[in-house]
Amino acid sequence: MAAKRYRSGEHRLFHRDAGYLEGRRVRKSRETRAMARRTGFGKQLIAGQWAAAEFDALGRLWELGLPVPYPVQLDESEMLMEFVGRTDGAAPVAAPRLGQCRPGPELLADLFDQLRSAMLAVARHGWTHGDLSPYNALVDDGRLVLIDWPQVVDVIGNPQGFDFLERDATTMAAWFVRKGLDVDAGELLGDLVAEATSRF
């Protein structure tokens, strides 16, 4: 198991989270005001929202058969999930992040195919990761696993949804191009937009 704790005053997205939080609602106006003002209580509420959003997203994505860690348990702002990596030795060894890998041409092409397939499946259900980068993807014995989903974005419901989708596609395509794979970010984005809007 791997544990992830959202600390109210330290989460890296608190200073730029407004775009991600659009469309997320709380029932009590007092809580809404506290979150908007970033009071101590408001930050605790936001931390809980991040944890709940990620736990919910992982559960839905896992049920769809997507390459994400299995979510085990949520306790306020701490989540337990499947550990991705080797556990056969004395100490577990986490799978490396994609950004740390230097895959050969064949594996590089396969990893892109896995990425494209996963991104299309996510878009088909109306979502995008929202902060996808080579550091939010693990390579577990040749299998790509996408992690860090607290900011998952509803592409249609969020006014900035297509901007987040474009950023995810552009960021990932650029990494593969830098590693020597001939991919077209515009083509990837076009395919993702087609999937995201296919329900309408």
Give the pLDDT of the chain (200 residues) as one tens digit per residue.
Answer: 888 887 655 444 444 455 555 555 545 566 556 545 666 655 655 566 778 888 999 999 999 999 999 999 998 778 899 999 998 777 889 999 999 999 999 999 999 999 999 999 999 999 999 999 999 999 999 999 999 998 899 999 999 999 999 999 999 999 999 999 999 999 999 999 999 999 77
Paired strand residues for 153: 128
The two three-digit tokens of residue 71, written as one number: 């979510």
Angle 161-178/185-196 helices, nearest 10 degrees? 150
Q: What Cα–Cα distance (Å) separates residue 165 from each residue in 33, 71, 85, 153, 175? A: 29, 24, 28, 8, 16
Structural domains present in the chain: 2-196 (1.10.510.10)
Query: pTM to 2 decimals?
Result: 0.82
Long-range contacts of 170-174 (CB under 8 A, 24+ apart): 171/132, 171/133, 171/134, 172/115, 172/119, 172/132, 172/133, 172/134
Q: What is the pLDDT of residue 132?
A: 97
Q: What is the pLDDT of residue 10?
A: 47
